Amino acid sequence: MGLETSDIQYAKLGIVNFINTSPIYIPWQEMGPLNGWAVEEGPPTLLNRHLAQGKLDAGIVSSYAYGLNADRYYILPDLSISATGPVGSVILLSKVPIEELHEKPVLLTSQSATSINLLYIILEDFLGLRPIFRTGSFEEMLGDSVARAYLAIGDEALKLRSNHDNLFRSDLAKIWLDHTGLPFVFAVWAVREESWIAWPEKIRLLHKRLSKCYHKGLKELERISKLVAPRIPMASSDCLEYLKGIDLDLSEEKQQGLLHFFRLLHDRGGFPRVLELKTLPFRGSRGKGQEKDEHRTSNVQHRILNGKR
């Protein structure tokens, strides 16, 4: 835990540099280093693992990774990567309509356990299908006469937005909303329990900085879109529309959506029962789609009555 440099001990933060995190990432970079913190950039799977191993003290982690470790992580309040409706970057690309994927091969990206498990829930639990899942690539799906679909996420999904008009596109966040009436939370900002105990002031400072990034990112979304759109590449106007569909808050409704996802994962087996979200007691950012209720304790319990909306 932490990193020692000379006489200063730094806490370590994990950040993902994807298009969907750019409204937080770009302001963070522009504000410069945060006192007492060292930053590690990496893909979600790496940061998930490093936070679990104690190589990081805090970071943005996938919802699935948080759920696996919910008993030893805290959540920074009011911050997430989520969507209420189509997200545009978690897409099932298929040669046939999604309803025709029963007993057909579906290829999966290896980059996101959250999106993969969301796809399992949608295809198997919501639609009653039993596809044949295996890891693969988009190119493999195109060249394979048997494979019928590929799950693309993140920047890869954005790169595949055009030039494939012959494929069916299913946005998983939209399907989730249609079936549950709830937003879907893809990632949260988590803190290891022992790091909070050791460095509460550093964690408060981190939350204050991330909240500033949140507000700055929302205000300057058009400018940020112009900065990051060439990565794909895509038109800055398309990038702006995409980023407008990304929610950065963690409202009461989003917390309910996250707990509902965990309940469905637990019902499928092999996933711990998560009945509550341990949220640190900070006053945080209030933003798009966020409820006005304040978090008054560090351990607020949110329940889904009867297991559904």
Please identify, among 180, 214, 245, the residue that sits at the C-terminal boundary of a domain: 180
Residues 52, 108: one domain? no
pTM higher than 0.85, yes or no? yes
Greater confidence, 113 or 59?
A: 59
Confidence of residue 8 (pLDDT cuts 50, 70, 90): low
Give the model confidence (pLDDT) of 128-157 as tens digits: 999 999 999 999 999 999 999 999 999 999
C-alpha pair distances (Å), 176 with each of 107, 168, 226, 285: 20, 17, 30, 26
Residues 59, 174: one domain? no
Please identify, among 180, 205, 220, the residue that sits at the C-terminal boundary of a domain: 180
Buried-state track 155-177, b at ≥16 Cβ within 10 A, e below 16: bbbbbbbeeeeebbbbbbbbbbb
Residues 60, 196: one domain? yes
Residues 241, 295: one domain? yes
Residues 229, 297: one domain? yes
| pLDDT at 173 > cutoff 90 | yes
Residues 162, 215: one domain? no
Give the model confidence (pLDDT) of 225-270 as tens digits: 999 999 999 999 999 999 999 999 999 999 999 999 999 999 999 9
The whole-number pLDDT of residue 222 equals 98
Q: How many domains does the structure of the chain reveal?
A: 2
Greater confidence, 134 or 163?
A: 134
Domain that holds residue 127: 92-180
Domain CATH code at residue 128: 3.40.190.10
Confidence of residue 305 (pLDDT cuts 50, 70, 90): very low
Residues 271, 147: one domain? no
Residues 228, 289: one domain? yes
Confidence of residue 283 (pLDDT cuts 50, 70, 90): low
Residues 257, 191: one domain? yes
CA angle, 298 then 43 then 236, to 5°: 100
Residues 18, 53: one domain? yes
Please identify, among 180, 213, 241, the residue that sits at the C-terminal boundary of a domain: 180
Please state, as a whole number, how many other Cβ atoms lie within 10 Å of the Cβ of residue 53.
Answer: 8
Confidence of residue 181 (pLDDT cuts 50, 70, 90): very high
Residues 102, 29: one domain? no
Confidence of residue 178 (pLDDT cuts 50, 70, 90): very high
Give the model confidence (pLDDT) of 13-68 as tens digits: 999 999 999 999 999 999 999 999 999 999 888 999 999 999 999 999 999 999 99
- In 3D space, the residue among 160, 148, 184 whose CA is nearest the CA of residue 264 turns out to be 184
Cα–Cα distance for residue pair 242/158, rounded to 1 Å: 9
Residues 150, 35: one domain? no
Phi first, then psi, for residue 10 (nearest 5°) are -95, 140
Average pLDDT value for the chain: 90
